[in-house]
């Protein structure tokens, strides 16, 4: 890469897709910042229902934490050119993603069985907020899971897919992001909420 010593413009260049992704993550952060700020404002007003977060959300937190580790291992193996461990870690990550989603849905059901309505005329906005915020996070996880499934599928079918590790790098960045985002939301909903 030619570096213009005078301006140094070339020094900081990363792949433009990474830049697109980072900027996109910034905008997702703003969306959840908006929602959690609204939550804080609403909580300070009258008619707020306090309830315990079901334990299943704690389990899902551990699951997504582990999946962050496995996706990082997949990137590592891809960079080392080790085809089989790469495939393995990627597939495990996809499976953990699906497990996380199922656990989140069970969390919603646990709330409902405790007679805490998430929507509808009897719902309190405390539960509705939890539902909407978690559901939107879940949709972002779903996007990641679909991408994980796609990339793992490709890792089994394509002959040599380790020359270009950009897709899996982008995917792992995104996956770490939804992981960290969930940890933030969990801490927020558990202690602040």
Partner 1 sequence: MSHEAALHNHEGHGHDDHGHHEHHDTFLTKYVFSQDHKMIAKQFLITGMVWAVLGGLMSVLFRLQLGYPDASFPWLESILGKWAKGGQITPEAYYALVTTHGTVLVFFVLTAGLSGTFANFLIPLQIGARDMASPFLNMLSYWFFFTASIVMLSSLFVETGPFSGGWTAYPPLSALHDASPGSKTGMDLWIIAMALFVVSSLLGGLNYIATILNMRTKGMSMTRLPLTIWALFFTAVLGVLSFPVLLSGMILLIFDRNFGTSFYLSDIYVNGVGALSNEGGSAILFQHLFWFLGHPEVYIILLPAMGMVSEIMSVNSRKPIFGYMAMLGSLFAIAILAFLVWAHHMFVTGLNPFLGSVFVLLTLLIAVPSAIKVFNWLTTLWRGNVRFTPAMLFAIGFVSLFISGGLTGIWLGNAALDIYLHDSYFVVAHFHIVMGVASMFGMFAGVYHWFPKMYGRYLNNSLGYIHFWITMAGAYLIFWPMHYQGLAGMPRRYFDFSIWESFKQFAELNRFISTIAMIVFATQILFLINFFYSIFKGRKVTVLNPWEANTLEWTTPIRPGHGNWPGEIPEVHRWPYDYGKDGHDFIPQTTPVGENETGTH
- Nearer to partner 1 by Cβ, of 15 and 190: the residue is 15
- Nearer to partner 1 by Cβ, of 17 and 156: the residue is 17
- Least Å distance, CB 9 to partner 1, is 5
- Least Å distance, CB 77 to partner 1, is 25
- Least Å distance, CB 179 to partner 1, is 19
Distance of alpha carbon 73 from alpha carbon 67, whole angstroms: 10
Tokens of 22: 């980072």
- Nearer to partner 1 by Cβ, of 4 and 113: the residue is 4
- Nearer to partner 1 by Cβ, of 33 and 55: the residue is 33
- Least Å distance, CB 69 to partner 1, is 28
- Nearer to partner 1 by Cβ, of 29 and 59: the residue is 29
The binding site for partner 1 (CB under 8 A) comprises 1-2, 4, 6-10, 13-17, 19-20, 23-24, 26-28, 30-35, 38, 41-42, 45-48, 119-121, 123-125, 128-129, 132, 136
- Least Å distance, CB 63 to partner 1, is 25
Distance of alpha carbon 139 from alpha carbon 141, whole angstroms: 5
């Amino acid at each position: 890469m030619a570096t213009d010593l005078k301006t140094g413009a070339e020094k900081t260049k990363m792949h433009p897709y990474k830049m697109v992704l980072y900027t996109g993550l910034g905008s997702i952060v703003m969306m959840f910042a908006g929602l959690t700020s609204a939550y804080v404002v609403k909580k300070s007003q009258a008619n707020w229902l306090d309830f315990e977060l079901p334990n299943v959300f704690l389990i899902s937190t551990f699951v997504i934490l582990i999946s962050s580790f496995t996706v990082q291992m997949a990137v590592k193996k891809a960079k080392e050119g080790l085809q089989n461990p790469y495939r393995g870690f990627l597939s495990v990550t996809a499976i953990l993603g699906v497990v996380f989603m199922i656990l989140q849905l069970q969390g919603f059901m646990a709330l409902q069985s405790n007679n805490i309505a998430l929507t509808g005329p009897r719902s309190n906005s405390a539960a509705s907020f939890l539902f909407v915020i978690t559901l939107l996070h879940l949709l972002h996880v779903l996007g990641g899971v679909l991408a994980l499934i796609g990339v793992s599928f490709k890792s089994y079918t394509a002959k040599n897919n380790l020359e270009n590790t950009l897709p899996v790098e982008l995917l792992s960045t995104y996956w770490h992001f939804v992981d960290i985002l969930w940890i933030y939301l969990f801490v927020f909903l558990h202690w602040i909420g």
